[in-house]
């Protein structure tokens, strides 16, 4: 099917969903967060701040939707839900008596009209780095998609430290109120709230959340309380405790920028070695594979290349493509079965005080082989590996 036909199809579905669920966002104050990395964390921070301020608020993120006290799964490999599910969730928020909705907005979600007709009061941009070029065709097209969304909101919160800032601001500037971050003139209490986060990228996410909630009139004391209440997110620098003295981390990092951030942080914290287990998705941006291989071998002591949603591609072909970027002389292993790669890293490579970081899947609950999503969890695979057992993706022939 042609791209034009698909765009029309997605648009019409969104219009039907809007009408069917009776334009629910008109009765909500909606804050949307877009960007390459940091969206889920920023959405959750904003949600926590609004909760601390006593607001009725729900959220939809990559991990799940939270409406009232209930968590709702939004699908596998999904950031912004299908328009029918999105409008259904917004309608449910209205029916629950919510005042605010905080939504994670992906470039696919924008391009496929999944948030079409949603009245966004505030739009936040975390950053724009290389991702989804297989879908958008070029970095400029990817950037424009994000910028078009930000142009549609009443207040755009832009990251002036990001390389995309000037280009995005130029597109967004006409007719929009623009708020920028990071800012150096934070009060002492807000500064402490930001500095609670040791990672520079999470300090930026916190600043984004501060400016977004200030834009809707939330008081500083409530912002501080909200940031203080923020805990870890599933699959985001999630540590799996063990009795061996190995620091085992599960993280969603699956972009060059995110992998660089995670490995740079662990490099600084490491008493000994950093061992990185990761893969690259099949049928997605092939050009980033050697880039990811270069980053892992530059910032980790040992890199273990493995499967990550190979779909209809050969796992070995993907791994070999990653290897092309690997720095010469650096230690790498190629283990196609992800569960075996995790077991190998923990039981045959890692020693006390080493970091083992498993990147790419994070919170996700499935692995794609062919067109089928099979149950999977990196955290569960780690727990099995700690017993020297292998968690296998239960697919035909395995």
Confidence of residue 79 (pLDDT cuts 50, 70, 90): low
Architecture of domain 238-385: Alpha-Beta Complex (3.90)
pLDDT of amino acid 134: 61
Structure-model confidence comparison of residues 95 and 77, the more confident one: 95
**Which two three-digit tokens encode residue 104?**
């994670």
CA-CA distance, 346 to 388, in Å (whole number)? 8
pLDDT (0 to 100) of residue 392 = 87
**pTM given for the model:** 0.90
Contact 62, 363 (CB under 8 A): yes
CA-derived radius of gyration, the chain: 21
pLDDT for 308 equals 96
Mean pLDDT score, 225-230: 96
Task: Fill in the DSSP letter of residue 305.
Answer: E
Q: How far is CA 368 from CA 74, 94, 281, 310, 371, in A?
A: 17, 35, 9, 6, 7
Specify the length of the chain in residues.
Answer: 398
Give residues with Cβ within 8 angstroms of 126, minimum separation 6. Answer: 33, 34, 35, 36, 37, 38, 39, 42, 159, 162, 204, 205, 208
Q: What is the spatial distance between Cα 350 and Cα 331, in angstroms, rounded to a whole number?
A: 13
* H/E run at residue 329: none
Supply the pLDDT for residue 58.
Answer: 97
Quick one: pLDDT band at residue 353, thresholds 50, 70, 90? Answer: very high
**DSSP secondary structure of 228-265:** HH----TTSSEEE--SSS-EEEEE---SHHHHHHHHHH
124: which 2 tokens?
């936040």
Residue 322's Cα: distance from chain center in Å?
21
For residue 130, is pLDDT > 70? no
Tokens of 103: 């939504």
The angle subtended at Cα 52 by Cα 60 and Cα 69, nearest 5°, is 45
Domain extents for the chain?
3-229, 238-385
**Cβ neighbourhood burial of 19 (10 Å; 0-12, 13-18, 19+):** exposed
pLDDT digits (tens, 9 = 90+) for 240-255: 999 999 999 999 999 9
Number of Cβ within a 10 Å radius of residue 140 = 10
What would the pLDDT profile of 134-192 be if each residue is shown by its tens digit? 665 688 888 888 888 999 999 999 999 999 999 999 888 876 799 999 998 899 999 99
Asked whether the predicted pLDDT for residue 238 surpasses 90, the reply is yes
Residue 69: the pLDDT is: 83
Helices first, then strands: H and E counts in the chain: 15, 16
> Does 3-229 carry CATH code 3.40.50.300?
no
Residue 6 banded pLDDT, cuts 50, 70, 90: confident
pLDDT at residue 80 above 80? no
List, for residues 253-292, the tens digit of each pLDDT value.
Answer: 999 999 999 999 999 999 999 999 999 999 988 989 999 9
Is residue 305 scored above 70 in pLDDT? Answer: yes
Match 């909101």 to its residue by tokens.
153
| Strand, helix or coil for residue 202 | helix
């Amino acid at each position: 099917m042609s791209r034009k036909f698909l765009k029309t199809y997605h648009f019409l579905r969104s219009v039907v969903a809007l009408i069917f669920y009776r334009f629910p966002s008109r009765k909500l104050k909606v804050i949307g967060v877009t960007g390459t990395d940091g969206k889920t964390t920023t959405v959750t921070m904003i949600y926590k701040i609004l909760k601390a301020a006593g607001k009725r608020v729900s959220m939809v993120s990559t991990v799940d939707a939270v409406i009232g006290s209930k968590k709702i799964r939004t699908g596998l490999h999904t950031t912004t839900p299908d328009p029918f599910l999105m409008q259904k969730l917004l309608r449910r928020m209205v029916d629950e008596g919510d005042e605010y909705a905080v939504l994670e907005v992906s470039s696919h979600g924008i391009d496929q009209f999944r948030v079409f007709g949603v009245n966004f009061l505030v739009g936040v941009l975390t950053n724009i780095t290389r991702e989804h070029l297989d879908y958008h065709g070029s970095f400029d097209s990817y950037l424009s998609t994000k910028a078009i969304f930000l142009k549609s909101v009443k207040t755009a919160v832009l990251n002036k430290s990001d390389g995309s800032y000037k280009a995005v601001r130029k597109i967004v500037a006409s007719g929009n109120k623009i708020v920028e971050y990071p800012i150096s003139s934070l009060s002492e209490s807000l500064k402490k709230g930001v500095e609670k986060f040791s990672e520079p990228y999470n300090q930026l996410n916190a600043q984004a959340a501060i400016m977004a909630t200030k834009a809707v009139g939330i008081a500083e004391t409530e912002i501080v309380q909200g940031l203080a209440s923020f805990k870890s997110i599933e699959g985001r620098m999630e540590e799996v405790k063990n009795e061996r003295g190995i620091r085992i981390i599960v993280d969603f990092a699956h972009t060059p920028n995110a992998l660089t951030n995670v490995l740079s942080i662990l490099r600084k914290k490491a008493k000994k070695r950093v061992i990185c287990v990761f893969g690259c998705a099949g049928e997605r941006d092939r050009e980033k594979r050697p880039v990811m291989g270069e980053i892992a071998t530059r910032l980790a002591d040992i890199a273990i290349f493995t499967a990550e949603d190979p779909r209809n591609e050969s796992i070995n072909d993907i791994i070999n493509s990653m290897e092309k970027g690997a720095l010469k002389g650096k230690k790498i292993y190629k283990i196609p079965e992800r569960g075996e790669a995790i077991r190998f890293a923990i039981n045959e490579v890692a020693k006390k005080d080493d970091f083992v970081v498993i990147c790419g899947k994070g919170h996700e609950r499935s692995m794609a082989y062919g067109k089928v999503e099979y149950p999977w969890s990196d955290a569960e695979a780690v727990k099995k590996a700690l017993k020297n057992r292998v968690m296998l993706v239960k697919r035909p022939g395995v």
